[in-house]
Amino acid sequence: MLFVLARASWLVPAIALAALGAIDHFGERLSFQLPARILLPVVLLAMTVGTACAVIVLVRGGVLLRRQARFGLGVNVTVGAMLALAALAGARARDRAELEANRLKQSTSEEMARAGWLGSAQVAGARLFAVEMNHGGLKESVTKSFHQPFTLVLMGVDNRQGVDDLVLDLSQVQVLFPDGQALQPLDRAQVIASAAPNDASAHAHALPYRVPRSTSFDRALAFLPFDADLERASGLVVQVNGAPLVIRGRWLSAEEKRAMRPR
């Protein structure tokens, strides 16, 4: 019995850690994630069981078994340290996300106070919006990340009333004009490639944006040609769930934008 407990002192936390690592690795590929409220109790339970087994063996076991028990305690301490580091990294990631959200909100508010292009569209119960970003912290941050000239348009999707998940593909955004002409899209892959290889936040924009039903997303970046004349533009063509969608809009003065704000 003590032999089983000695083995369990390090096997239980090790197996739990390996299983969670496999779930995290393959879950990312399969778009499957377990919430933290499930993961944390599982790891803590494994550590508790492993530590209890080690203590029992240290008190009642022989020399060889106590050696395994001490190893088990070391494994549990290591798992606990990894858990603490993960919690610290998660807290920092949440702080960065909150800071980015506040900066995005401020930048959008600043743009809504200036003249610029503004458009919207609806599809399958979801609402899309597009705002030209000429100034503000977001524009400066994105310009620093991507070392290729472009005109930046911030897009968002409100899918809280949508009937299905929505995939917004901005790899081939066309600019439409009232006379029927269209400006050819900027090569998005080249823009993404111009970012530093270790800039994870920049490369996160390489793939289409998936917005599940009943959620919203307001940080999609559309890269248009640097010389795009949005003062004459009447719409932007994007891909939604594999089909083209025209976001109609126009250039608005600061006064017109202010008049659109809810009072």
| pLDDT score at 137 | 66
- Please tell me the predicted confidence (pLDDT) of residue 29: 46
Burial call 208-243: b when 16+ CB within 10 Å, e when fewer: bbebeeeeebbebbbbbbeebebebbbbbebbbeee
- Contact status, residue 118 vs residue 132, Cβ threshold 8 Å: yes
Burial class (CB in 10 A: 0-12, 13-18, 19+), 262: exposed
pLDDT value at residue 30 = 42
Classify 120 as helix, strand or coil. Answer: strand
Q: What is the pLDDT along the chain (263 residues), one digit of tens a residue?
A: 777 787 777 778 787 777 766 655 554 444 445 555 566 777 777 788 888 888 888 888 777 788 888 888 888 888 777 777 776 766 676 666 566 666 656 655 665 567 789 999 999 899 999 998 876 666 777 888 898 899 999 999 999 999 999 999 999 999 999 998 999 899 999 999 999 888 888 888 999 999 999 999 988 999 999 989 999 999 999 999 999 999 999 998 878 777 766 55
pTM for the full model? 0.62
pLDDT of residue 245: 96
Check residue 128 and give its pLDDT: 96
DSSP state at residue 165: -
Domain parsing of the chain, residue ranges: 2-101, 115-260
Q: Return the axis-axis angle of helices 2-29 and 36-60, rounded to nearest 10°.
A: 160
- Asked whether the beta carbons of 175 and 182 are under 8 A apart, the reply is yes
pLDDT of residue 65: 81
Q: What was the pLDDT predicted at 111?
A: 56
Check residue 41 and give its pLDDT. Answer: 77
Predicted local distance difference test score (pLDDT) of residue 84? 73
> What CATH number belongs to 115-260?
2.60.40
Report whether 139 contacts 133 (CB < 8 A): yes
